[in-house]
């Protein structure tokens, strides 16, 4: 059975292009243009709603009590601290209005809805794994955090011991039940395209 480590290795080119994306460099430097940050976060608010639904599907489909509880705890953080960040960030950027999904967002919404509707724990967890592991990977730099909370909090939401433990849980679970490689590859492609789309 293919492991999460094998999958990341197999898709390293696109994975690394996302992790080293211009958006990530500018976020760390605190130099992301407000219009880029607004476009990115408005799209990510659409992503987040589908992501919460997908976390709910993982809670529902988990075949182990420990994993179900761990996913439920993370769902609470996303619906709590992370949603609060979005409310403050979008208000500050004057970007709280409704937006249409750009193509990478639409791709993610379709992928997540299809995983959710399948009810397949392995497929659901594969999508969650890419989304969370790739974000930990770019947020885990040793660099000093930027000073503006708009940039710093987006990094802090995706690093630290608790977030790393969540990603470790996702890897353990995907390695236990077996990844869906096509879904893994599609999600990595979409992550890179999602960063590109922030630049219009």
Instruction: Rank residues 1 and 107 by Cβ distance to ligand HMH and give the closer one.
Output: 107
Nearest in space to 47 (alpha carbons), one of 194, 171, 199, 200: 194
Q: Could you say whether residue 175 binds ligand HMH (CB under 6 A)?
A: no
Instruction: Rank residues 85 and 178 by Cβ distance to ligand HMH and give the closer one.
Output: 85
Nearest in space to 8 (alpha carbons), one of 198, 187, 200: 187
- The two tokens of residue 171 are 């890897």
Q: How far apart are CA 149 and CA 47, in angstroms?
A: 21
Q: State the nearest-atom distance from the C-beta of 132 to ligand HMH, in Å.
A: 5
Among the listed residues 23, 37, 132, 192, the single contact to ligand HMH using CB under 6 A: 132
Q: Could you say whether residue 194 binds ligand HMH (CB under 6 A)?
A: yes
Q: State the nearest-atom distance from the C-beta of 45 to ligand HMH, in Å.
A: 9
DSSP state of 146: P
Q: Where does this chain touch ligand HMH (CB under 6 A) — which range of 23-31, 44-52, 63-71, 113-121?
A: 44-52
- The two tokens of residue 169 are 């849980």
Q: Could you say whether residue 137 binds ligand HMH (CB under 6 A)?
A: no
Q: How many CB atoms lie within 10 A of CB 117?
A: 10
Q: How far is CA 3 from the centre of its chain?
A: 20
Instruction: Rank residues 62 and 131 by Cβ distance to ligand HMH and give the closer one.
Output: 131
Instruction: Rank residues 1 and 57 by Cβ distance to ligand HMH and give the closer one.
Output: 57
Q: Where does this chain touch ligand HMH (CB under 6 A) — which range of 12-20, 23-31, 130-138, 166-174?
A: 130-138
Q: How far apart are CA 170 and CA 131, in angstroms?
A: 10
- x/- binding map, residues 46-85, to ligand HMH, per CB under 6 A? -x---x----------------------------------
- The two tokens of residue 101 are 């999904």
Instruction: Rank residues 65 and 124 by Cβ distance to ligand HMH and give the closer one.
Output: 124
Residues 174, 128: contact at Cβ < 8 Å?
Answer: no
Q: Could you say whether residue 44 binds ligand HMH (CB under 6 A)?
A: yes
Sequential DSSP letters for 51-74:
HHHHHHHHHHH-SSHHHHHHHHHH
**Interface ranges with ligand HMH (CB under 6 A):** 44, 47, 51, 131-132, 135, 191, 194
């Amino acid at each position: 059975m293919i492991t999460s480590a094998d999958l990341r290795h197999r898709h390293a080119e696109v994975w690394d292009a996302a992790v080293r994306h211009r958006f990530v460099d500018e976020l760390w430097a605190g130099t992301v243009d407000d219009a880029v940050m607004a476009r990115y976060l408005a799209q990510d608010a659409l992503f987040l709603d589908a992501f919460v639904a997908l976390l709910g599907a993982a809670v529902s489909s988990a075949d182990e009590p420990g994993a179900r509880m761990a996913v439920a705890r993370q769902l609470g953080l996303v619906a709590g601290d992370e949603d609060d960040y979005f409310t403050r960030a979008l208000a500050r950027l004057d970007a709280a209005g409704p937006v249409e999904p750009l193509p990478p967002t639409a791709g993610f919404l379709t992928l997540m809805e299809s995983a959710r509707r399948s009810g397949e724990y392995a497929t659901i967890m594969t999508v969650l794994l890419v989304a969370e592991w790739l974000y930990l990977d770019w947020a885990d730099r040793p660099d000093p955090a930027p000073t503006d909370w708009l940039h710093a909090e987006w990094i802090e939401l995706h690093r630290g011991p608790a977030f790393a433990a969540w990603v470790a849980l996702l890897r353990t679970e995907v390695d236990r039940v077996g990844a869906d490689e096509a879904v893994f590859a599609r999600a990595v492609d979409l992550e890179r395209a999602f960063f590109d789309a922030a630049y219009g």
